[in-house]
A = this chain, B = another copy of it.
Amino acid sequence: MWLELDRGADPGRVQRELSALGLWVTRCSGPQGIGFWVQKHSAHLEPEALQIEGVRAVFPQASPHPRVDALAGLTFRAGPLSIGGEAPVALCAGPCSVESRGQIEEAAAAVAEAGGRALRGGAYKPRTSPHAFQGHGARALGWMRDAADRHGLAMITEAVSEAEVPRVAEFADVIQVGARSMQSYGLLRAIGEAGKPVLLKRGLAAQLEEWLLAAEHLLVAGSGPIAFCERGVRSFDPSTRNLLDVGVVALLASVYRLPVLADPSHAAGRRDLVVALGRAGLAAGAHGLLVEFHPDPASALSDGPQALDRAGLLALGQSCGTTLEVA
């Protein structure tokens, strides 16, 4: 957004007023006058709020994602799962991979017991190595659907390939777009065309605007409502697996008013920090959590170090409820 000053205005005074409104500005001046460019990390204000003395014109930037903006303030709903608005904290949990009918049934029971509203789990797994376990595919979808239904949970699972989308759409309540596919536009189109609610994870180094534009791709293709999920971005510090960006969680929740989950499991990469980071995500404004949970982490085929066990999940469930009440 660009603000242009009246000829006689005192630029120092105007800048301090803008600063008081939460705006960082870059000052430019030429033969035709003086103006300020509002930097991106400033507070978001409507042009009307800036008609202060000394400002003669405001040039706002049109949003590049009008369809996403239209979701502001709406509650995301998919079966028994609601995210945002007046809905209580949404706990979505389950194993990294669906490993057997028994495992996912046991997982669903624990998720329900912990107060969760959705069962998550991977039937098709995006694995960094092609030599690692890639998931049980289609039959895991059936196991998961049964387990979710038996315990009154919504089912969330990722589609890794366009070819899988129809099958995933048939079984799942919510199709997940993984972090590594956030800008894979062919896959976004296929998922959008399925017309289902979508959980859109943030790419490992995606800027907020790129993330919102990925959602716009889904909506243009015909998707149902979209919930965002921050799962930690790539950083220069090897101390944690990823870096949970509570700033964008706060922006999405309080400025864009879009439904957003935090995924403390991938961010922390280790079980003992999951509750702390989950609570941090909620405190920043997240409407719920997406966490990895395994009935028996010692037998997990993937991501075991970050999976909560049953006791951990129950503790997290209690913690989430508590946090919500004081929020």
A98 to chain B, nearest CB (A): 17
State which of B41, B163, B206, B245 has its C-beta within 8 Å of the C-beta of A186: B163
A248 to B61, CA, bound (A): 29
Choose, from A69-77, A83-91, A102-110, A249-257, the stretch at the interface: A249-257
Closest residue of chain B to A192, judged by CB? B130
Smallest Cβ-Cβ distance to A165: which chain B residue:
B186
Which among A115-123, A138-146, A279-287 touches the partner chain? Answer: A279-287
Give chain B residues whose Cβ lies under 8 Å from the Cβ of A180. 183-185
**A239 and B297 contact, Cβ closer than 8 Å, known pairs A187-B184, A234-B205, A283-B283:** no
Q: Is A164 an interface residue (CB 8 A)?
A: yes
Interface residues of A in 270-301 (CB under 8 A from B): 270-273, 276-277, 279-285, 297-300
Main secondary structure of the interface of A (DSSP, over half): mixed
Q: Which residues of B contact A126 (CB under 8 A)?
A: 183-185
Cα–Cα distance between A126 and B255 once the two chains are bound (Å): 28
B183–A186 CB distance below 8 A: no
Residues of A whose CB lies within 8 Å of any CB of B are 1-2, 4, 16-17, 19-24, 26-35, 37, 39-43, 47, 56-62, 64-65, 126-131, 159-164, 180-181, 183-187, 189-190, 203-210, 213, 216-217, 220-221, 232-251, 253-255, 267-273, 276-277, 279-285, 297-300, 304-306, 322-323, 325-326
